[in-house]
């Protein structure tokens, strides 16, 4: 199979983990006889510095013409600490999602038995947790009408973000949730704040109508504050959850840390155009160039990329290699076993996994 991949390494630790992701992708392609080509493109703070735009038109064209996008991270403290900045790296990520029509963000949360001790939750609570969060990605407050901080006629400073949704937007993401639930344990949790927000009442209304079309799936409804507590108290309750953009952003970060490290979890963003595969963590600029960033989420994003194209054996081999590396204590510092005398960095972990794939 021929696969054209747009490579957007971005900022901070992005280039370092991307190097390992591409190396794994190439090793798998060689192993199974696929032809994979890569084209790099600018995004984030790096793109702002180079051309003044966090998602330049040239980058959009490269992404649109590719079969898939492998993305790493965006973000830089010089923008984070400047509330008056007119252009921000994260705007490039939002622009990519909007221009490519990527309305569904798929974030699996899965525990690794050998890392349960790294979780902030008790062993019996977290062991075996395995769920997927389906986050709507192109609507809500992130894309609704905005008013930047300004002084109104009464002399009071104000700002506005509009949590705007339409029925078609809600229906299409709910159907994605039902499709995933049908392929798993047939349990879908719709998360909203329908007791307070009008936009959430639209979500619940549409979901209750669609529920009748999926009688084989158990559907339940949960307010987002309750869902946040339930994820800590009983993460094994969840199978597939579906929610709006802002709630999904917060809940998926919460879900990621219960596994022991944000550096372990990949994601996919799909929709009407080229799909994007990326780790859920940020750019961690403090770790840039130190060879300490965990590349596993980036590598597992490559597994999701292969699986998207129906290449399940390829994805399975990557997952096998990642599990083997964890079991062998070939881990970056934040998840390294205290008893392990060997030290591994980003490059060493990536090389170990590549070697494993080549020998398999």
* Distance separating alpha carbons of residues 302 and 279, to the nearest angstrom: 10
For the chain, give the mean pLDDT: 94
Return all residues near 179 (Cβ < 8 A) that are at least 6 apart. none
The DSSP symbol for 266 reads: E
- Measured in degrees and rounded to the nearest 5, phi and psi for residue 266 equal -95, 180
Q: What is the pLDDT of residue 262?
A: 81
Cα–Cα distances in angstroms (integers) from residue 130 to residues 107, 110, 126, 238, 310, in the given order: 11, 4, 9, 8, 22
Q: Which residues are known to be catalytic?
A: 142, 193, 225, 249, 253
Domains by residue range for the chain, with CATH: 1-103+271-360 (3.40.718.10), 109-134+164-262 (3.40.718.10)
Q: What is the pLDDT of residue 180?
A: 96
Q: What is the pLDDT of residue 83?
A: 67
pLDDT along the chain (360 residues), means of 10: 97 97 98 98 94 96 98 88 77 91 94 88 93 95 92 94 96 97 97 97 98 98 98 97 96 87 90 94 92 96 97 97 95 83 91 97
Beta-carbon neighbour count of residue 127 at 10 Å? 14
Look up residue 85 and give its two tokens: 């900045």
* Distance separating alpha carbons of residues 355 and 344, to the nearest angstrom: 15
Q: What is the pLDDT of residue 343?
A: 86
Q: What is the pLDDT of residue 82?
A: 67
The DSSP symbol for 118 reads: G
């Amino acid at each position: 199979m021929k696969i054209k991949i747009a490579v957007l390494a971005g900022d901070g630790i992005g280039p370092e983990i991307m190097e390992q992701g591409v190396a794994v992708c190439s090793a798998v392609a060689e192993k199974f006889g696929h032809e994979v080509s890569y084209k790099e493109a600018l995004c984030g703070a790096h793109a702002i510095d180079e051309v003044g735009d966090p998602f330049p038109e040239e980058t959009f064209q490269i992404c649109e013409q590719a079969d898939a996008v492998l993305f790493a991270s965006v973000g830089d403290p010089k923008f984070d600490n400047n509330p008056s900045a007119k252009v921000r790296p994260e705007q490039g990520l939002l622009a990519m999602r909007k221009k490519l029509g990527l309305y569904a963000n798929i974030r699996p949360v899965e525990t690794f038995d050998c890392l349960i001790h790294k979780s902030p939750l008790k062993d019996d609570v977290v062991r075996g947790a395995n769920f997927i969060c389906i986050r709507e990605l192109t609507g809500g407050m992130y894309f609704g009408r905005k008013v930047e901080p300004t002084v109104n006629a009464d002399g009071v400073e104000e700002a506005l973000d509009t949590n705007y949704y339409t029925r078609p937007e809600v229906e299409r993401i709910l159907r994605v949730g039902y499709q995933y639930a049908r392929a798993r344990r047939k349990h879908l949790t719709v998360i909203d704040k329908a007791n307070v927000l009008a936009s959430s009442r639209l979500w619940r209304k549409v979901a209750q109508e669609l529920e009748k079309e999926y009688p084989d799936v158990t559907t339940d409804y949960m307010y987002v504050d309750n869902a946040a507590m339930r994820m800590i108290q009983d993460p094994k309750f969840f199978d597939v959850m579906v929610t709006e953009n802002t709630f999904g952003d917060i809940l998926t970060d919460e879900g990621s840390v219960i596994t022991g490290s944000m550096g372990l979890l990949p994601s996919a963003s799909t929709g009407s155009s080229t799909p994007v595969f990326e780790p859920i963590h940020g750019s961690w600029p403090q770790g840039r160039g130190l060879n300490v960033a965990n590349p596993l989420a980036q590598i597992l994003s490559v597994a999701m990329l292969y699986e998207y194209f129906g290449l399940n054996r390829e994805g399975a081999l990557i997952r096998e290699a990642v599990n083997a590396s964890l079991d062998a204590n070939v881990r970056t510092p934040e998840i390294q076993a205290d008893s392990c005398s060997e030290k591994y960095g980003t490059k060493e972990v990536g090389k170990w996994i590549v070697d494993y794939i080549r020998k398999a």
